[in-house]
């Protein structure tokens, strides 16, 4: 689970950088879909960070 969360954080961080770069370079003209893509990347990073915090704090063990 730890490996999956770390890998997902890395992947979605890379996607976020790609999406932001595409908006800044002017390659993305549909700003609604660009905003949604960046929001989903940020959401996935946040959820996986919460998962890691839960694992390391002992909340995932019973």
Check residue 29 and give its pLDDT. Answer: 86
Structure confidence at residue 59 (pLDDT) = 66
Task: Tell me, yes or no, if the pTM score tops 0.85.
Answer: no
CA distance 54 to 40: 21
Residue 42, burial from CB neighbour count under 10 angstroms (0-12, 13-18, 19+):
middle
Tens-level pLDDT at each residue, the chain (62 residues): 999 999 999 999 999 999 999 999 988 889 999 999 999 999 999 999 999 999 888 865 55
Q: Which two tokens stand for residue 34?
A: 């660009």
- Nearest CA to 43 out of 22, 15, 24 is that of 15
Q: In this predicted structure, what is the pLDDT of residue 38?
A: 96
């Amino acid at each position: 689970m730890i490996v999956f969360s770390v890998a997902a954080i890395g992947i979605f961080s890379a996607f976020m950088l790609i999406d932001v770069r595409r908006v800044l370079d002017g390659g993305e003209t549909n700003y609604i879909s660009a905003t949604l893509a960046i929001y989903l990347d940020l959401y996935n990073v946040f959820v996986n960070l919460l998962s890691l915090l839960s694992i390391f704090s002992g909340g995932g063990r019973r």
